[in-house]
Amino acid sequence: MYNPKSLKAEEFISHEEIMRTLAYAEENKNNLENVDKIIDNAAERKGLTHEEASVLLACEDESRIQRIYDLAEQIKKDFYGNRIVMFAPLYLSNYCVNGCVYCPYHLKNKHIARKKLTQEEVRREVIALQDMGHKRLAIEAGEDPVNNPIEYILECINTIYSIKHKNGAIRRVNVNIAATTVENYRKLKEAGIGTYILFQETYHKESYEQLHPTGPKHDYAYHTEAMDRAMEGGIDDVGLGVLFGLELYKYEFAGLLMHAEHLEAVHGVGPHTISVPRLKRADDIDPDQFDNGISDEIFAKLCALIRISVPYTGMIVSTRESKEVREKVIRLGVSQLSGASKTSVGGYSEPEPEDENSEQFDVSDKRTLDEVVRWLMEFGYIPSFCTACYREGRTGDRFMTLLKAGQIQNCCHPNALMTLLEFLQDYASEETKVLGEKMILDEIKNVPSDKVREILVKNLEQIKQGNRDFRF
């Protein structure tokens, strides 16, 4: 029985409710009067229900799809301005006891090079990331209670936060590790993590069990209920995601929105972010063996619909996507991008030898961080290295309340400009620096409050003189 307030996976992600929703969406997709009404509702910027959003996903009318794109672009501008937050993944260990059939880490894969960073190697990786200019990381690890126990993850987080190299510092560590216990989530919270990210992979229980035939990840309910345990453990910000390509995208989309509705209903705060990874080629993995791959057009439509359905939730696109695809979807609502990512264990400080491959998947966007930053600015976006909200305690419902009241702009925009200037001063090429400094000068004018502008100008001057870490 469908119940968004239930704590049981099978009740808040009810298969029957998803099937009913998809049937309703099919029946109503050509009722253009109703479709227009739903788009009008979305324009109120209060989000859409999974049922409403599913009708829009099913609708194939070109002029309505264009309206959805235009609205997504507008909502993105209203809530997130022209900022794009930058981050990088850091792979700690690819030891894994699970049998996920789409992931090269699976236990039966005997040819992937198994690696786990020592604390000295973590240090080297973090210094390499700091030397590019990164301030925000997402740590990644396979699930292996012997090789990667929670103590190892906590030790790595400690090491990462402790490294101060030149002007570098990692100021926010997000964590993408397997579903765990309330007690372990509490430990992660105490270690000072930002967002806890866990991809659902698929919301379809039967497929989930087939795609995860062995290992602790096989347990659909334990995995699906992880965010509730994380929140019980005190983690304010959680990040959802589906691995598109595993199951039918319409099913996943309805499930994803139901999950967001569930978190809002039970914890009073929806997901902080939604990631939209697509299945990629990897060691021992051929994406063509999976039937449910989605085209770039559908991918863009999904991004736009996520933006208008959950306007307060950040959206993350990784380097799994090419420059061309990223170019299309940042306009439609994406708020965070990774840059210069390596998915191998230890890949930032040392390239892997030819015969040794520990990568999780092939990266499509292989540009340097400097190139990504310059490309964003050429498009009129401000690359932001800001981590202030979480450090100022603006997390969970506090962050959401400010965002909903339109207040967050007073912090995010000046913080983006200050962290961009830090990047330009410390890490950028001359070409990027020239472009960026001009952009900052232009953008100062767009700060609405005189007082904030005054402080911002002073801080920017300080940053030019070598001082760091100012924030609103």
Number of C-beta neighbours around residue 324 at 10 A: 10
Residue from 99, 133, 142, 215 in contact with ligand SAM (CB under 6 A): 142
Residue from 56, 138, 177, 300 in contact with ligand SAM (CB under 6 A): 177
Q: Which is nearer to ligand SAM, 365 or 422 (CB)?
A: 365
Residues 201, 243 contacting (CB under 8 angstroms): yes
43 Ramachandran zone, left/alpha/beta (phi>0; psi -120 to 50)? alpha
CB of 261 to ligand SAM, least distance (A): 22
Residue from 17, 52, 144, 201 in contact with ligand SAM (CB under 6 A): 201
| Per CB under 6 A, 459 contacts ligand SAM | no
| Per CB under 6 A, 208 contacts ligand SAM | no
Only one of the segments 57-65, 276-284, 321-329, 332-340 lies at the binding site for ligand SAM (rule: CB under 6 A); that segment is 276-284
Q: Which is nearer to ligand SAM, 241 or 311 (CB)?
A: 241
CB of 197 to ligand SAM, least distance (A): 8
Residue from 157, 279, 400, 447 in contact with ligand SAM (CB under 6 A): 279
| Per CB under 6 A, 25 contacts ligand SAM | no
| Per CB under 6 A, 4 contacts ligand SAM | no
Residues 246, 201 contacting (CB under 8 angstroms): yes
| Per CB under 6 A, 261 contacts ligand SAM | no
Only one of the segments 40-48, 65-73, 74-82, 278-286 lies at the binding site for ligand SAM (rule: CB under 6 A); that segment is 278-286
Q: Which is nearer to ligand SAM, 200 or 425 (CB)?
A: 200
Q: Which is nearer to ligand SAM, 142 or 314 (CB)?
A: 142
Q: Binding-site residue total for ligand SAM (CB under 6 A)?
A: 21
CB of 430 to ligand SAM, least distance (A): 36
| Per CB under 6 A, 280 contacts ligand SAM | yes
| Per CB under 6 A, 148 contacts ligand SAM | no
| Per CB under 6 A, 178 contacts ligand SAM | yes
Residue from 14, 360, 384, 409 in contact with ligand SAM (CB under 6 A): 360
Only one of the segments 272-280, 291-299, 324-332, 419-427 lies at the binding site for ligand SAM (rule: CB under 6 A); that segment is 272-280
Residues 89, 170 contacting (CB under 8 angstroms): no
CB of 273 to ligand SAM, least distance (A): 14
Q: Which of residues 294-333 bind ligand SAM (CB under 6 A)?
A: 320
CB of 462 to ligand SAM, least distance (A): 39
Name the residues that contact ligand SAM, by CB under 6 A. Answer: 102-103, 140, 142-143, 176-178, 198-199, 201, 217, 243, 277, 279-280, 282, 285, 320, 360-361
